[in-house]
Amino acid sequence: MSAIARSAQDGATLLAGLLLTAITITAAVQAPVSPTDNERERGVSIAREADRRDSGWRDARVEVRMILRNQHGETSDRFLRSAWLEVPGDGDRTIVIFDRPADVKGSAVLTFSHKSGDDDRWIYLPAVGRTKRVASSNKAGPFMGSEFAFEDLASQEPEKYVYRHVRDDVLEGASVWIVERDPLDPRSGYARQLVWYDQAEYRPRKIEYFDRKNELLKTLTYDQYERVDRFWRARIQVMVNHQTGKSTRVEFGPYRLGSGLTLADFSVERLSATR
């Protein structure tokens, strides 16, 4: 066998091997499989450790700009302010106040996340002058016309998912774990999600969202991480919808952690007074 022929055969073997590996990885990544106990335990432990490392900031405030881009490349802006409060033994409480577009200026949404069951949500609309309970149905619905669904923005409590460690990988030069998480809520818009956690700091670097037909729907990437006190916060998040070609870029201002917000600041009674 000539050197060229041997080289070609080696190449074919290598190619077949690579192809087989790729198929195996693709199958592992794309098809929901019954996780082994080991995969489940590793997945849960990574998610819990990520959650533990991101606990203890008490409360947080940040100003946010969302840039919505449609399939034609046209953009529109949303400006809002967010505040969070950690609640021991329960999910976070969140207030989002809208500044722009101008017709929703002053509207505020208060969410009580829970470790199990539906989140509670109220909305204050200044035009109506009333705080209204929101019946929580459309978790998969877009937030303000963006590519973020309400459930993407809700507090990501580990208790809301079933986890599975898929494999170790490298992402942009950093060692990562790929963990699959399947929402327990039957009304979630997703069959499953794949989260890339960096091994150094347990930060999510990328999330792929698969729709109910198990087809890739969206990819969220985290960028420009910076340390605020001992916590990591991404200044940029970009969500790309692969099925529509639309995308949303979120730019976060400086985070203020532990500024002394209390449960009363996150109460339904005071939502109308929040500005």
Residues that bind other proteins (CB under 8 A): 68, 70, 76-77, 100-106, 114, 117, 120, 126-130, 133, 135-138, 140-146, 187, 262-264, 268-269, 273, 275
Distance of CA 273 to the CA centre of its chain: 29
In the complex, minimum distance from the CB of residue 102 to other proteins, in angstroms, rounded to a whole number: 3
Shortest reach from residue 71's CB to other proteins, in Å: 11
Compare residues 145 and 183 and give the one whose CB is closer to other proteins.
Answer: 145
Least distance to other proteins, CB of residue 204, Å: 24
Q: State in angstroms the smallest separation of the CB of 145 from other proteins.
A: 4
* Closer by beta carbon to other proteins, 37 or else 74: 74
Give the Å distances, CA to CA, from 220 to 25, 101, 147, 170, 216: 21, 24, 10, 17, 12
Looking at the Cβ atoms of 136 and 199, the one nearer to other proteins is 136
Cβ distance to other proteins smaller for residue 198 or 247: 247
Task: Name, in order, each residue with C-beta under 8 angstroms of 111's C-beta and a sequence gap of 6 or more.
Answer: 93, 94, 95, 96, 119, 120, 121, 154, 155
Q: Of the candidates 61, 13, 89, which has an alpha carbon nearest to the alpha carbon of residue 265?
A: 61
Q: Based on the number of CB atoms within 10 Å of its own CB, is 94 exposed (0-12), middle (13-18) or buried (19 or more)?
A: buried
Q: Which is closer to other proteins, CB of 105 or CB of 230?
A: 105
Min. distance of Cβ 260 from other proteins in angstroms? Answer: 9
Q: How far apart are CA 105 and CA 126, in angstroms?
A: 8
Residue 214 near residue 191 (C-beta atoms within 8 A): yes
